[in-house]
């Protein structure tokens, strides 16, 4: 019985001897990666197949860590043994005791099972870590719409060769924007240990409704060496020590978002949380009808200005809003600046009295709604047919009829025709639009007519007799061949025709010079160039042609 038992144990050890499973660290920590390493003896070029139950561990990577080969020659037989090392990178989400179950390796047509493996996951590392990832926020309890700055850091006390972000935080429940900050290393103390840290990713977040939120983790892949030194800790790699690779994941951070107070909320509440500055500018205070009234509202602060829509500035039946747009810019201090540009058109005579525009924000420091008032006006619009008192800024106790009379009398101190004469060059784009369109159409019509006239003239010129055409408008490159054909009675150049007709002396040199100039101009740009010709010389050519015709008779 005992012999049988020892035989079974021996056979099991033989089977297990071909598969060895180990951990890269004996004390893995939650949310920090570690490796499960399989060392397998195989024969030939067989690739092993590995399977196991991770029991809650998250597998984030697999790699072939190495292959070692040994060849032996025994009793005339050559045998090759190969050991394959396969590494699985895993992360434990929480501290507990877990087991690797159902470990099975298939190689060379054989199945090798391995006993379950116990792994104790710690909540904190026993010794200070060489490198780790950490997320930090400027506050963990906020109001809805209040700014949260989250920075993801890489902490290291050993030289880091390279870093990559393998998994970005989603942060889907937040309204978010990414900020690019300089990766400048700084020395800090963390848990009584000196580290160098670098900000790797920065985001500005806003909770859109009350409730509990989580700052998602970030995952880094780093390569570092274990040697420590004052110079290496500042990121200068001296290439000393053994290089290691590791995946780092930051921890989640819980955020509580509270609802804004609902008691005594002013009607002018903008929805912005935090201290903000408001500024309002207008191009001038007096306008004529249809002249642009340009306003600029600038809001600066840490609130969610992406959600802040264009507020109403002017509301009057005599003033029409023509255009409005907004630009958003985020500064390095995470305060945003949103600029609203308004363009209004005064359609009729009106006076917009001075008014104060309220803008309310919620201050999380004082836990109160605070109102800022901006001054606008007075705004005068003149040059129309009649005067309409603006309802905005009008004193309810003041009779509307009296207001009409006082404003009307003050406006008629300057004749309306003179106002138009003075302000007409400053009229709005709409006011000038008809004039501009008419001018463009007139220019287009004149251009078309000029081309048409030139076409008619060219057509008429082509219908003139050859010598009359040359006498009136000059000699062109195309006329050279025509003259040669007329003079010689066959297609040839003008110079060749003149030489055949014994045309000599200064007259021949004259036409040779013209022919060379026209030929050079045509070869240069291909344009039709005409040269004025001496009328006496043209008459001589015409006489020469007539003499040829007489001889032929």
pLDDT tier at 56 (50, 70, 90 boundaries)? Answer: confident
Residue 424 has pLDDT above 70, yes or no: no
Rounded Cα distance between 194 and 232, Å, is 13
Region of poorest pLDDT, from 31-35, 283-287, 469-473: 469-473
- Return the pLDDT at 410: 36
Q: Which two tokens stand for residue 152?
A: 């993801």
Domain spans of the chain, in order of start = 16-120, 131-258, 269-425, 464-552
209-230 pLDDT per residue, tens:
999 999 999 999 999 987 654 4
Burial grade of 304 (CB within 10 A; 0-12, 13-18, 19 or more):
buried
Q: What is the CATH number of domain 131-258?
A: 2.60.40
Is 552's pLDDT higher than 80?
no
Which residue did the predictor score with more confidence, 516 or 432? Answer: 516
Residue 416: per-residue pLDDT: 43
Q: What is the CATH number of domain 16-120?
A: 2.60.40.10
Q: Which tokens hold the place of 249?
A: 């994941």
The per-residue pLDDT of the chain, averaged, comes to 79
Over residues 28-34, the mean pLDDT reads 84
Select the more confidently predicted residue: 195 or 465: 195
Average pLDDT of 499-509?
73
Mean pLDDT value of segment 299-322:
90
pLDDT number for residue 526: 64
For the ranges 64-68, 231-235, 251-255, 345-349, which has the lowest average pLDDT?
A: 231-235
pLDDT at 533: 81
Range of weakest confidence among 21-30, 245-254, 329-338, 485-494: 485-494
Asked whether the beta carbons of 298 and 391 are under 8 A apart, the reply is no
- 505 vs 177: which has the higher pLDDT: 177
The torsion angles phi and psi of 465, rounded to 5 degrees, stand at -60, 155
- pLDDT tens digits for range 62-105: 888 778 777 776 666 766 677 888 889 888 888 888 888 889 88
**pLDDT at residue 433, rounded to an integer:** 66
State mean pLDDT over 153-179.
91
Of residues 534 and 391, more confidence is placed in: 534
Distances (CA, A) of 227 to 22, 27, 158, 190: 24, 21, 6, 20
| pLDDT value, residue 390 | 45
Residue 553: predicted pLDDT: 47
3-state helix, strand, coil in the chain (%, to 5): 25, 40, 30
CB 423 within 8 A of CB 288: yes
**Over 60: is that where the pLDDT of 248 sits?**
yes
Please write the tens of the pLDDT for every residue from 167-206.
999 998 999 888 888 888 999 988 888 999 999 999 999 9
pTM beyond 0.85: the answer is no
**CB contact at 8 A, 53 and 106:** no
Residue 225 makes CB contacts below 8 A (sequence gap 6+) with 158, 159, 161, 232, 237, 239, 240, 241, 242, 243, 244
**CA distances in angstroms from 268 to 297, 326, 360, listed in the order given:** 15, 20, 5
Q: What is the mean pLDDT of residues 157-165?
A: 92
pLDDT at 550: 58
Tens of pLDDT, residue by residue over 313-360, are: 988 888 888 888 999 988 888 899 999 999 999 888 888 888 899 999
CA distance 426 to 432: 10
**Residue tagged 């008014």 (tokens):** 355
21 forms bridges with which residues in the sheet? 38
Q: Does pLDDT of 231 surpass 50?
A: no
Longest dimension (CA), the chain: 146
């Amino acid at each position: 019985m005992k012999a049988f038992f020892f035989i079974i144990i021996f056979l099991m050890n033989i089977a297990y001897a071909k598969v060895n499973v180990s951990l890269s660290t004996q004390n893995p920590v939650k949310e920090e990666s570690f490796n499960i390493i399989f060392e397998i003896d195989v024969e030939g070029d067989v690739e092993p197949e590995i399977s196991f139950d991770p029991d809650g561990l998250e597998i984030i990577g697999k790699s072939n860590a190495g292959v070692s080969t040994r060849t032996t020659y025994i009793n005339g037989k050559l045998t090759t043994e190969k050991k394959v090392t396969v590494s699985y990178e895993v992360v434990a989400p929480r501290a507990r005791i877990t087991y690797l179950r159902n470990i099975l390796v298939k190689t060379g047509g054989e199945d090798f099972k391995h006993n379950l493996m116990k792994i104790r996951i710690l909540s904190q590392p026993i010794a200070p870590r060489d490198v780790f990832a950490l997320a930090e926020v400027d506050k963990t309890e906020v109001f809805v719409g209040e700014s949260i700055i989250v920075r993801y850091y890489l902490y290291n006390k050993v030289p880091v060769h390279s870093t990559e972000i393998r998994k970005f935080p989603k942060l889907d429940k937040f309204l978010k924007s990414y900020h690019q900050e300089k990766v400048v290393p700084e020395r800090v103390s963390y848990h009584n240990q000196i580290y160098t840290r670098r900000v790797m990713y920065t985001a500005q977040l806003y909770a859109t409704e009350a409730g509990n939120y989580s700052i998602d983790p970030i995952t880094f892949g780093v390569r570092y060496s274990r040697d420590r030194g004052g110079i290496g800790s500042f990121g200068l790699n001296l290439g000393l020590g053994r290089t290691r690779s590791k995946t780092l994941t930051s921890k989640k951070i819980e955020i509580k978002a509270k609802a804004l107070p609902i008691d005594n909320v002013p009607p002018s509440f903008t929805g912005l949380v935090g201290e903000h500055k408001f500024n309002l500018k207008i191009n001038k205070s007096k306008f004529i009808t249809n002249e642009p009234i340009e306003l600029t509202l600038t809001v600066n602060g840490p609130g969610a200005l992406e959600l802040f829509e264009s507020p109403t500035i002017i509301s009057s039946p005599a003033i029409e809003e023509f255009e409005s747009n907004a630009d958003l810019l985020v500064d390095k201090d995470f305060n945003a600046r949103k600029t609203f540009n308004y363009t209004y058109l005064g359609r009729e005579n009106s006076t917009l009295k001075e008014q104060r525009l309220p803008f309310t924000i919620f201050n999380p420091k004082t836990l109160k709604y605070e109102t800022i008032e901006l001054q606008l006006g007075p705004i005068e619009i003149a040059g129309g047919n009649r005067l309409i008192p603006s309802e905005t800024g009008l004193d309810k106790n003041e009779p509307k009829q009296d207001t009409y009379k006082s404003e009307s009398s003050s406006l008629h101190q300057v004749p309306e025709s003179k106002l138009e004469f003075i302000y007409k060059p400053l009229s709005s784009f709409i006011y000038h639009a008809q004039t501009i369109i008419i001018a463009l159409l007139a220019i287009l019509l004149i251009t078309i007519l000029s081309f048409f006239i030139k076409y008619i003239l060219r057509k008429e010129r082509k219908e003139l007799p050859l010598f009359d055409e040359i006498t009136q408008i000059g000699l062109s490159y195309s006329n050279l061949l025509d003259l040669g054909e007329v003079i010689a009675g066959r297609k040839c150049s003008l110079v060749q025709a003149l030489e055949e007709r014994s045309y000599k002396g200064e007259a021949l040199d004259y036409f040779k010079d013209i022919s060379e100039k026209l030929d050079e101009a045509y070869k240069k740009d291909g344009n039709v160039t005409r040269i004025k010709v001496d009328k006496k010389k043209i008459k001589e050519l015409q006489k020469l042609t007539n003499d040829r015709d007489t001889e032929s008779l």
